[in-house]
Amino acid sequence: MIKFKNVSFDYGDDENKINALKDISLTIEDGEFVAILGHNGSGKSTLARLINGLLAPSHGEGLVDGSSTVDSSAVWRIRQQVGMVFQNPDNQIIASRVEEDVAFGPENLGCEPAKIRARVDEALAVVGMRELAHSDPHLLSGGQKQRVAIAGALAMKPKYLVFDEATSMLDPKGREEIVATTRRLNSDYGITIIFITHIPEEAALAGRVVVLSGGTIAMDGTPQAVFSDVDAAAALGIGVPKARLLAHGLERAGIDIPGSILTVDDLVAALC
Ligand SMILES: Nc1ncnc2c1ncn2[C@@H]1O[C@H](COP(=O)(O)OP(=O)(O)OP(=O)(O)O)[C@@H](O)[C@H]1O
Ligand SMILES: [Mg+2]
């Protein structure tokens, strides 16, 4: 379980302080698929970096499986338990062969060679990249590069995976590949997913949506609940999925349509 208790985080010094997160309390249970949705500068990446101890709270406490993220005896275990996948796939590639890239993490953990081989093969199989194990990662598509980055995180055997806008530099096909992979990691492998995005359609696929605004939690609930109030979502700068917006327009035009519509399939089912 990930637990944040009254966490605040400030960048800069006393004179130029930027209060990026303000008194955040949040619990993420094992096995959840949580989307963190928020406009630019709302504090999403700061929250991601606090979860695995890359940043330490200015106030309050962050706990991963009961250990504080600032406890120096626990921080290496926490970083192994909480994998991160970032926005730019090119910045995450370090080797000139896919399998060497994926092996980097377990090598640093000091795993023995046979174990590294097994972990690399398994991680590449999970993300559907085993045939490209000998390829140069720099020559892959954006979606494939991100899948290599996910395999690298998986090879560490994490319990939690944090995706910080991991789809934002990809084309629609690449986005689909990554979203489908994250859903499989959650449903088939039980990995807890924290999926940071500014795209309402992606957040709508999560079991729970936490909305950040100005460094505070503005909403926390099911996608249906979070996107039910179109005007409130607009005021928070997050918007709603396009299908929800269209349904809202039809509703205002007097058509009887459920408020729970989030996807095109929902809309088609309701109208036809
Ligand atoms: N290294 C830094 N130094 C100073 N201020 C920072 C730093 N990183 C972020 N900030 C500020 O902290 C606030 C939160 O930033 P953060 O990057 O967490 O937001 P975000 O929601 O991830 O934004 P984006 O959607 O642009 O990725 C913003 O006001 C930002 O300008
Ligand atoms: Mg960010």
What's the CA-to-centroid distance between 11 and ligand 2, angstroms? Answer: 14
For residue 85 the two structure tokens come to 């996948």
Are the C-beta atoms of residues 92 and 149 closer than 8 Å to each other? yes
Q: Is the CB of 197 under 6 A from ligand 1?
A: no
What's the CA-to-centroid distance between 131 and ligand 1, angstroms? Answer: 38
Per-residue pLDDT of the chain (272 residues; tens, 9 = 90+): 999 999 999 999 888 999 999 999 999 999 999 999 999 999 999 999 999 999 999 999 999 999 999 999 999 899 999 999 999 989 889 999 999 999 999 998 889 999 999 999 999 999 999 999 999 999 999 999 999 999 999 999 999 999 999 998 888 888 888 899 999 999 999 999 999 999 999 999 999 999 999 999 999 999 999 999 999 999 999 999 999 999 999 999 999 998 889 999 999 999 88
Q: Whose CA is nearest to atom 16 of ligand 1?
A: 43
What's the CA-to-centroid distance between 12 and ligand 1, angstroms? Answer: 12
Ligand 1 pocket test, pick from 7, 8, 11, 86 with the greatest ligand atom count within 8 Å of Cβ, gives: 11
What's the CA-to-centroid distance between 38 and ligand 2, angstroms? Answer: 9
- 45-81 exposure pattern, b = at least 16 Cβ within 10 A, e = fewer: bbbbbbbbbebebeebebbbeebbbeeeebbeebbbb
Domains of the chain: 2-221 (3.40.50.300)
CA 225 to chain centre: 20
Atom number in ligand 1 closest to CA 21: 14
Determine the Cα–Cα distance for residues 162 and 196; give it in Å rounded to an integer: 7
Say which residues have a Cβ less than 8 Å from residue 155's Cβ, sequence separation at least 6. Answer: 102, 103, 105, 106, 116, 119, 120, 122, 123
Whose CA is closest to 43, among 178, 184, 164, 222?
164
Are the C-beta atoms of residues 146 and 171 closer than 8 Å to each other? no
Whose CA is closest to 52, among 31, 20, 28, 23?
28
